[in-house]
Amino acid sequence: MSALADALQRLAERSGISRPSVANVEAGRQNVSLRQLCALALALDVGVEELLAGDY
């Protein structure tokens, strides 16, 4: 398993979101719900605002 695939798998396990969904969100192919956003932030040990910051 590649490092990226391994990292996505660990994030999926920590957040309770399926690995395909995590991969799709990361790639911008899928929108994320508020619940998923909070789960990802918690799994990554960052604030939701850090996940939302960026150039869009």
What CATH fold (topology level) applies to the domain 3-52? Answer: 434 Repressor (Amino-terminal Domain) (1.10.260)
Residue 54 has pLDDT above 80, yes or no: no
| Residue entry with tokens 């695939």 | 5
Q: What average pLDDT is seen over the chain?
A: 93
User: What is the reported pLDDT for 55?
Assistant: 66
- What string of DSSP letters covers the chain? --HHHHHHHHHHHHHT--HHHHHHHHHTSS---HHHHHHHHHHHTS-HHHHH-S--
Residue 18 has pLDDT above 70, yes or no: yes
Residue 40 has pLDDT above 80, yes or no: yes
Cα 45 → chain centroid: 12
- Report domain extents, the chain: 3-52
Segment 8-37 shows an average pLDDT of: 95
Segment 24-47 shows an average pLDDT of: 95
Segment 19-25 shows an average pLDDT of: 95
